[in-house]
Structure 1
């Protein structure tokens, strides 16, 4: 055993000796270009670099700016030491010319003048450092050169990251723009007429809307469609949040609305089936999603409005003939929960009569969830008061007045949530051909 240990010790000693004999690899040397016309300053700078013991920089020397540019054009220079007073250039312009010629090479300005204003201006223009001759030693010079190279590397890296970010933002903006265009296509491009054969101005039911997304794309959605020649379906919903995620859910909503046209005459069943399908889809997502909604069926042949609500703000009925404006919840307060929360809730169908010149106003909460300077919410009561004040106006003018009033209260601030207004005006309730 002892002999084996002796052998191991001998081999270890031989290995150590061999390792000591191996020449160490020379450190990677970087080329520094010194542009200086004073022989004395050149010798001094070369001496300062030689006595530091740091053999990292190999210095090349030229005396004129033009010669420096020619050398930089060949490549391989890691850092430039630049005197501002040269035979073919003088002052800060010396730096600006060289920096414009080789913007990717870090430049340290060397000056015989201790001029703070000049130093600040040079650094502002892009110099990595400003050193005063006679106030710098070898260690400081080497450190400045190392730091200049590293700062330039980091600056270029940040520049690449910024360019990548700009590119990705541009792509994201393009995606949002396309999403907005698609979402606008999803909204009704024209309204149905009742009966379908008449011109819009002769329709028994007329429609108007105003849609203001808070972001490039929104989470509010509505649809208007004909069920029969005397029956219209109006659907409005507000998906939680706004932006791209909410817009994706509104796209799902549109598909569900089209899919469930066979039950569109039954307001409660229509919402029940939308909820069932939406819950089955959204329960697989990691984050909870919900949407408030209201669906109504206007039957002008029967003179009746049938409606169901899924936690949505109550629509307003303006009875112009009677001079009354009231929320539909005052007529029948029954409603179900927001869509997507539960698998099998019930959505009761409520009813109220329709008369000629009635206007039904549907809206999302973005119109009244704005605050004044005292952080007091505009609120549904103030909205109801504004509607009553302007109830005699046509729908489009009513929208203008409501938005104007809300903007006045909020001090002209942009809406923080999507805003959707839909109006249904009843022109007549019988005599359809």
Structure 2
């Protein structure tokens, strides 16, 4: 693709203007990305730390408050008293009573006497009073030492709690130990809860005795709603995540939502450190996010309580990196728009100045040089202008070049170019006259060489006949010769050895043109010198090769020629032949109805001129009346179609097989017409020589 100077100049202006803008945008974006991500990450880390601290503080306060109430209310004593009332039952009776109650429990309504007895006893009333003054607790209930429900603030989902995991964990704890389960959905309280359970011990005469288990359900929603860290319209994702990467809750717009998803394992692994931090991670697998995190831990160092069962948790706050980068991208777009506007204004101003001072003078120089070039190349191109018109156009444009005034190097260039252009036009006019004279002389020489080469070939054919009076067999000759240029490297010769014996020689010198034609003249002379050996094909080619190699050896050039020599003997009804690297001629055997090559698989038959001494082999075969021999050069079958596919020897043989009953002249004309049609539209690019001979009646008819 060729670009004019205007296009290039505009491109240079645009590149020179855009490059600083692009560099500035890249630098601004790089620093903007790092600053935005770092500031947002630190903000999320601090928010996660605050969230962790606030949640830890709230949980610690609620646990301590609940424990103080338990101790001050002497809950364990009241549980022991209630257990004493029911201790008169045997183990079997107790289990039967538990199973019956458990089966009946789902059908009981809060207004039933059985439920009211649980909700209105002294323990239940104490727990209800505690909940009334502490809104974070959603439910409290107590079981005895075997898991039966003995007091509750509301109806629970089950009567017998001993099969629950929290109860089994709490019953194994010692005094001043509690089990904490974080962020579960409590079906009884119907809230997202943080469950606190601990064993109840009572001092008796025999020692310290386990009397029951108490469980308190903290409403997690009330705790999380007290943490307002971000503007509700621009809040990032806030989640509580456990060690496995499972998300327990999502806190959004002061709402707590349980989730059934996991964060990316790589992001989950990053959380496991003891310190808060921030970074870039694929939290939700597909989207890169800026994330801040902090561990959630309970600190009861100033209390006698020991906490068990709490899974490691982290407060995680993150936002899609694309949203974090949105302000930076928005600012980049604004700067880009303003920069492009300014670049367009300055580029137009620069182009206007450059067009007047640089581009227009250069355009005049270009038009003048094109006109001079057209004048110089007028003989090589289709003549759209006469020589006088081209010279006049060039002179007019050169005058325009002389008028350029820019007061700089362009003006100097224009002055020198105008002088040079005028000199070129003068030289061109003189040169064209001399070339025309030389061209005419060369053309006359080529025409003479062509006429000479044609006259070197047989101008007529010998009259060959059988020596027997009763044998009416004769020979019919025909040839077609078409050089690719004025002269050719293809040629043939017919040697009359006797009245009944004739030799036909065909050769193809490498290359085309004058040099190949000169070699054909040398070969013709050599053939005449060794004509006495013409009846022996192999000996004939051997002598011809030896003399030919001696003549071309001192030239230092690689010159060779393929050749085929055929001797037809009507007296003995035989044909003898030898090949020097030449394509095999074809025999149309009308007696058997077939077409066969004379030397289909011949080897060790080098072309003439390649080696100083070469041996060739003579082949012979019987001939029949109406046999037809076709000798040719490689230009016949190496012509190609528009796709580059050669005509080929196989296709030539098929053509002869399909038309073997046709007479010699018509058949050879058909071959030439066929290959001409095949080679369209580019035409034949190699010399063509075909020589045919047919055994026929002496009258000339087969």
Counterpart for residue 101 of structure 1? none
Change (3 A) 1:136 1:248: same
Change (3 A) 1:359 1:136: same
Counterpart for residue 359 of structure 1? 628
Q: CA deviation at 1:196?
A: 11
Counterpart for residue 183 of structure 1? 453
Change (3 A) 1:139 1:370: closer
Unaligned runs of 5+ in 1: 1-119
Distance between the aligned counterparts of 1:206 and 1:134, measured in 2? Answer: 78
Cα deviation, 1:233-268, whole Å, max 9, x if unaligned, reads 100000001100000000001101111111001111
Name which of 672, 689, 692 aligns with 1:403.
672
Counterpart for residue 152 of structure 1? 422
The 5 A counterparts of 1:315-334 are 315-330=585-600, 333=602
Counterpart for residue 526 of structure 2? 256
Matched, 1:417 2:686: yes
Kept in 1, the 8 Å contact 2:473–2:625? The answer is no
Distance between the aligned counterparts of 2:457 and 2:403, measured in 1? Answer: 72
Unaligned runs of 5+ in 2: 1-389
Q: Which fold has the larger relative contact order, with Cα–Cα distance below 8 Å and residues 6 or more apart in sequence?
A: 1
Cα deviation, 1:188-242, whole Å, max 9, x if unaligned, reads 1111101499xxxx87111000000001000001001210010001000000011
Change (3 A) 1:426 1:334: farther
Q: Partner of 1:329: helix, strand, or coil?
A: coil
Range with greater deviation from structure 2 (131-140 or 371-380):
131-140
Counterpart for residue 475 of structure 2? 205
Kept in 1, the 8 Å contact 2:642–2:681? The answer is no
Matched, 1:300 2:578: no
Change (3 A) 1:132 1:298: closer
The 5 A counterparts of 1:238-257 are 238-257=508-527
Name which of 432, 438, 459 aligns with 1:168.
438
Change (3 A) 1:405 1:320: same
Q: CA deviation at 1:135?
A: 7.2
Q: Partner of 1:221: helix, strand, or coil?
A: strand
Counterpart for residue 233 of structure 2? none
Counterpart for residue 107 of structure 1? none
Cα deviation, 1:144-198, whole Å, max 9, x if unaligned, reads 666534321122113323333333222222211111010010111111101499x
Counterpart for residue 194 of structure 2? none
| TM-score of the aligned structures, taking structure 1 as reference length | 0.65
Distance between the aligned counterparts of 2:569 and 2:643, measured in 1? Answer: 44
Kept in 2, the 8 Å contact 1:318–1:324? The answer is yes
Change (3 A) 1:335 1:306: farther
Change (3 A) 1:262 1:143: closer
Kept in 1, the 8 Å contact 2:391–2:425? The answer is no
Q: Partner of 1:341: helix, strand, or coil?
A: coil
Change (3 A) 1:238 1:403: same
Range with greater deviation from structure 2 (170-179 or 214-223):
170-179
Q: Partner of 2:599: helix, strand, or coil?
A: helix
Q: CA deviation at 1:352?
A: 1.0
Counterpart for residue 348 of structure 1? 617
Distance between the aligned counterparts of 2:476 and 2:603, measured in 1? Answer: 27
Counterpart for residue 97 of structure 1? none
Distance between the aligned counterparts of 1:294 and 1:134, measured in 2? Answer: 71
Matched, 1:339 2:608: yes
Distance between the aligned counterparts of 1:354 and 1:399, measured in 2? Answer: 21
Q: CA deviation at 1:333?
A: 3.6
Q: CA deviation at 1:428?
A: 5.7
Distance between the aligned counterparts of 2:529 and 2:669, measured in 1? Answer: 34
The 5 A counterparts of 1:31-70 are none
The 5 A counterparts of 1:352-391 are 352-391=621-660
Distance between the aligned counterparts of 2:567 and 2:403, measured in 1? Answer: 87
Matched, 1:278 2:548: yes
Distance between the aligned counterparts of 2:415 and 2:617, measured in 1? Answer: 78
Q: Partner of 1:130: helix, strand, or coil?
A: helix
Q: Partner of 1:204: helix, strand, or coil?
A: strand
The alignment's C-alpha RMSD in Å is 3.0
Change (3 A) 1:246 1:142: closer
Q: CA deviation at 1:340?
A: 0.2
Kept in 1, the 8 Å contact 2:585–2:630? The answer is yes
Q: CA deviation at 1:391?
A: 1.5
Q: CA deviation at 1:286?
A: 2.4
Counterpart for residue 538 of structure 2? 268
Kept in 2, the 8 Å contact 1:355–1:428? The answer is no
Kept in 1, the 8 Å contact 2:635–2:686? The answer is yes
Kept in 2, the 8 Å contact 1:223–1:234? The answer is yes
Kept in 2, the 8 Å contact 1:359–1:423? The answer is yes
| TM-score of the aligned structures, taking structure 2 as reference length | 0.41
Distance between the aligned counterparts of 1:211 and 1:184, measured in 2? Answer: 9
Distance between the aligned counterparts of 1:402 and 1:211, measured in 2? Answer: 13
Distance between the aligned counterparts of 1:140 and 1:374, measured in 2? Answer: 51
